[in-house]
Structure 1
Amino acid sequence: MTVTRLEIRPRYEGANIGTWIGFKHLNYLVEEAVLEHLRRTGMPVTDLYHDHGLCVDLVDIDTRILTALRVDDLAVAEVSAAEAGTLSFAVAVKPGPEANKAVSAKVKVSLRHDPRGGATGEIPASLRPYAVDRLGEQDKSVQLPDGADPVEFLTMGRNAFGWKWRIPYFYCHFTERMQMSGYLRIMEEVVDLFLADRGVSVKRLLDEQQWIPAVPHSRITLLDEALMEEDLYTVLTVEEVFKRLTYTARMDCYVLRDGLLVPTATGRITHGYAELASRSEWGLVSFDDRLMAAISGASR
């Protein structure tokens, strides 16, 4: 079995609280490691696209964060095949060659055929099993009642927060589609908006209690394609609060086409909270009554 090992550093952009790296940028490390594995196994993104019209799309990323990484850590990533007959990979990221895993992830890739841009060479037989004409292709559309507001319709009667947002070109790739890293950004932003809406914004808890959100697990799965400049409706629904230690919320994304709400992605994210003891130390805390009421919806 081919195993790709590479040294990899977090991006400075991800050091939002002190020098610790947030969950989104840890997922970016996973993505970068998978792309390097594809290069080393003869499937570089550029060649697949230019020679065969195949677009490399991450369609599922399931990541567990076991310990924190900091901006200057030179991490070691290991990538190996996770399931025979698919482009599925297991990824481990360690803060050093002899260290325990900091991040463990499973990733699935599809090769989405793009007929635009002119003729290309024939898709090699070895790649045909992974080539698809469309991502997702799951018909789970929901009819929007006449005159209904999509956000209100999608959040009605639920412990949820909804948000409408226009997909810009810089969240897309291959000229057209929302990419996985874009959905990771959306997941981070909808949680930020949800917390602010409930009166427990990240800045407020930092200023008042030195508390920050900490993410041990996230997952996003693409269900269909969301296109550049479409409106994306994102709903964050709190599903479970575990012993005042963590809460898990589900993210669902939709686009509206001809009166139908089309699901384009779904995912889950789990949060705990940590108290900053110093510039370099933190410890997990239990939710207090204010945070518990906000997350559970009791304070609405």
Structure 2
Amino acid sequence: MTTPTATAVKYLLEIQTTLQVRPRFEGSNINTWIGFKHVNYLVEEAVLEHFRNAGLPSRELFEEYGLGVDVVDLDTRILHAFHQDDVARAVVVPVTKDGDTAFGFSVTLYVERDGKELKAVTSKAKVSLRVDDYLAAVPVPAELQRFAVARLGSGAERSVHHGAEAAPAANTALSAGRGTTGADPVLEQLLAGANAFGWKWRIPYPYCHFNERLALSGYLRQVEEVVDLFLADRGISIKTLLDDRKWIPVVPRSQIQFLDEALMEEDLYTVFTVEEVFKDFTYTARTDFYVVRDGRLVQTATGRITHGYAVFENRRDWSLVGFDERVVRALNGEPAAG
């Protein structure tokens, strides 16, 4: 006899979900445009709704079976900008293959412009079910065991720094502030010889879920913040270019992949490395995340963004703009022209 769980898993693996999603007001930082972080939140919400429609919402999976729903791999392309009050049609299509140990989904968001529906976002997401170990274990239904993991992360793209010995400094105590971008032995080790910027930061409770783990949303917030700090460090802060030129940052693509777990109140080392400046129009940068455990570096996640600039023409319209010499030199880590 087919069990309710088997029916639900069959839905997760085979049935398409369509829903409406709307970006949050918080994501509108410049004029009425919505930033990449909140676009990714829409993708995550669409995936969570797919689980609800299947009859296995995140709450039930955790409370009944001790399984936490974690988006552990996300690759999102933004084709058209979102604005405040946009209502998007989200389509979630299962793409899990035989033998996969994580659920796979293709997510597409559509918006209406001038009476036409446009494909605004395409995204690929993978979801793991993390077995909770805070309380006594409960039996996991057979149909879910394939996707249940004792620890998050693939470890597939860990950097050369992973496992290296490290000697952390005690400079994220509350009396010293939450973090540092200054002299720090672990940051110096991670940044050596690279066109990179580093930030050490104590992981706070609001960035975590399921008792202790840094959530996908926490990593997205971290990417947004390290970009802000990097640009300020290079002398082209977001407000500087807004005031001087009315330039706004745009991120047409973002990726995050979990390699391990980062835990509440650990010190997280975030390294932002510029990889390529492409035709003075966009640049790609890699973001790597580390903690130190037992005196060794552990890489917990990696990701990339593609970043550019747009100039706004009025409160509604903007257009992409090429980098000038000042911006190119800053991105390449070169001193400003004399």
Specify if TM > 0.5.
yes
Pair 1:210–1:103, CA change in 2 (3 A): same
CA displacement at 1:299 relative to structure 2: 2.0
Paired residue secondary structure (1:102):
strand
Q: Which residue of 2 aligns with 1:104?
A: 122
Q: Is the Cα–Cα contact under 8 Å of residues 168 and 292 in structure 2 kept in the other structure?
A: no
The runs of 5 or more residues in structure 2 that have no matched partner are: 1-13, 170-183
Q: Which residue of 2 aligns with 1:181?
A: 217
Aligned residue among 315, 318, 328 for 1:279: 315
In 1, Cα distance between the equivalents of 2:41 and 2:163?
30
Q: Does 1:114 align with 2:136?
A: no
Q: Is the Cα–Cα contact under 8 Å of residues 256 and 302 in structure 2 kept in the other structure?
A: yes
Paired residue secondary structure (1:67):
coil
Aligned residue among 244, 254, 271 for 1:208: 244
Paired residue secondary structure (1:263):
strand
In 1, Cα distance between the equivalents of 2:201 and 2:85?
34
Q: Which residue of 1 aligns with 2:105?
A: 89
Describe the superposition over 1:72-110 as per-residue Cα deviations: whole angstroms up to 9, x where unpaired.
111110001023244010000111495121110000000
CA displacement at 1:117 relative to structure 2: 2.4
Q: Which residue of 2 aligns with 1:143?
A: 165
Q: Which residue of 1 aligns with 2:143?
A: 126
Q: Which residue of 2 aligns with 1:77?
A: 90
Task: Give matches, 1:13-32, under 5 Å.
Answer: 13-32=26-45
Aligned residue among 276, 296, 300 for 2:332: 296
Aligned residue-pair number: 299
In 2, Cα distance between the equivalents of 1:227 and 1:146?
16
Q: Is the Cα–Cα contact under 8 Å of residues 198 and 299 in structure 1 kept in the other structure?
A: no
CA displacement at 1:125 relative to structure 2: 1.2
CA displacement at 1:143 relative to structure 2: 1.9
User: Which amino acid in 1 is paired with 2:127?
Assistant: V
In 2, Cα distance between the equivalents of 1:118 and 1:261?
30
CA displacement at 1:42 relative to structure 2: 2.2
TM-score (norm 1): 0.96
Paired residue secondary structure (1:252):
strand
Q: Does 1:237 align with 2:254?
A: no
Q: Which residue of 2 aligns with 1:260?
A: 296
Q: Is the Cα–Cα contact under 8 Å of residues 154 and 258 in structure 2 kept in the other structure?
A: no
The runs of 5 or more residues in structure 1 that have no matched partner are: none
Q: Which residue of 1 aligns with 2:72?
A: 59
In 2, Cα distance between the equivalents of 1:194 and 1:234?
11
What value does the CA root-mean-square deviation take over the aligned residues? 1.6
In 1, Cα distance between the equivalents of 2:132 and 2:77?
32
CA displacement at 1:124 relative to structure 2: 1.0
Instruction: Using the aligned pairs only, state the percent identity.
Output: 57
In 1, Cα distance between the equivalents of 2:120 and 2:259?
28
In 1, Cα distance between the equivalents of 2:95 and 2:299?
27
Describe the superposition over 1:112-144 as per-residue Cα deviations: whole angstroms up to 9, x where unpaired.
001322453x21111010000001263842222
Paired residue secondary structure (1:94):
strand
CA displacement at 1:39 relative to structure 2: 0.9
